[in-house]
Each structure stands twice: as structure tokens, then as C-alpha cells.
Chains A and B, each alone.
Chain A
């Protein structure tokens, strides 16, 4: 692991049940070689802020299902296959319906 350092992750947050406007939360995360953005979000969720929402309830984690696509530094990227190499700004894809924080849907019907 050796070369551990901190990176800043700026995450777009939003909770429609509270009816607030979207805002950003900034987290300092220890970063090591070979760490993915999904690993970093897991770290935040498990150790810093359990209220963070990102879509991983059926994530394959290996670049197969494509369910973890987010806007990372302005570019659509898979969380599970994006290496954390420096500070990052993370948001849902544009023109989607945001469910909460980084979770979004294209469209949806009631079950």
C-alpha cells in the first residue's frame, strides 16, 4: 500500500423527500494505488457518512453491468473501473431523474 495520501471527493447530494435543492459535500478520503471510485464511495459510506446514496444495490463491480455510470470530472465513467488518482467531482448523469444523491433513473413506472 505504501504510498497512501488523501484526495478530496466532491459529491453532488440531493434528497427529494426533504425537498431541498442539490448541494455538494466534500470528503477527504485516504487513497492508495489501485483504488476505484466505487472503493472510495464505499469508504465514505462505511466510515464517514452513512447517509450517502450511490447506486450499488446490484452492482457487478467488474465493468459488466454498466449500472454505476456517473459524471466524474465532467465525463461519464463507471465508478467501478475509474481509478482514484486525484481530487474528483462526482455527479449523476445529466438529463436524468435524480432519486437521491448520486442515484438516478432514466424513466420509471410504478411496480
Chain B
């Protein structure tokens, strides 16, 4: 895989990551621990059910 193709794929991943993090933060507003990134937040697991 040449360097240009690698750069295109890497930058696409970055754009996707930014978009997903932004969407997640907006979607979780108002929930307990809204947008909480804490890995051990027990409320998060419950909210998904």
C-alpha cells in the first residue's frame, strides 16, 4: 500500500472518529452521565436496555 493511499485511509478514519464522537455527545445529552466516557459507569449499561 503506497503512502498516499495510507494517508487517505487514515484521514478518513479521523473524520469518522470526529463525527461519531460528536454525534454521541449530542445524542446523550440529558441522560444520567450524559456522554459519560467513564468505563465503569454502571448507569451506562442500564441506559442501553
Is chain B a partner of chain A in the same complex?
no
Interface residues of B (CB under 8 A from A): none
